[in-house]
Amino acid sequence: MNFRDFEKLDPNLLPGLLNTALRNDCDSLDDLVRTHDLDEMALIRKLNELGYEYLSGINQIRPIRKDR
């Protein structure tokens, strides 16, 4: 999958597609952005706008917890 146009991907699909790539192909967010030649800060901003964050301990994109 080409994530270079992640800004244009359906926001309902983006977290799931990223999690699939993290689970199947990449060991970390750093690995994912290097593999797909992405702007890491832009991706993190987009995820935050959508209410998601990357959790390195489980290598997944998850909804931001409101209780923290």
Residues whose CB falls within 8 Å of the CB of residue 19, separated by 6 or more in sequence, listed in order: 60, 61
Structural domain includes residue 27: yes
**Hey, what amino acid is at 44?**
I
Report the pLDDT averaged over residues 39-59. Answer: 97
- Total-model pTM: 0.90
Report the pLDDT averaged over residues 15-27. Answer: 97
- Residue 16 belongs to domain spanning: 10-63
Structural domain includes residue 1: no
Helical axes 14-24 vs 40-49, angle rounded to 10°: 130
**Cα–Cα distance for residue pair 35/13, rounded to 1 Å:** 20
Residue 67 pLDDT more than 80? no
Structural domain includes residue 2: no
Number of domains in the chain: 1
Q: Which H or E run includes 62?
A: strand 60-63
Residue 68 pLDDT more than 80? no
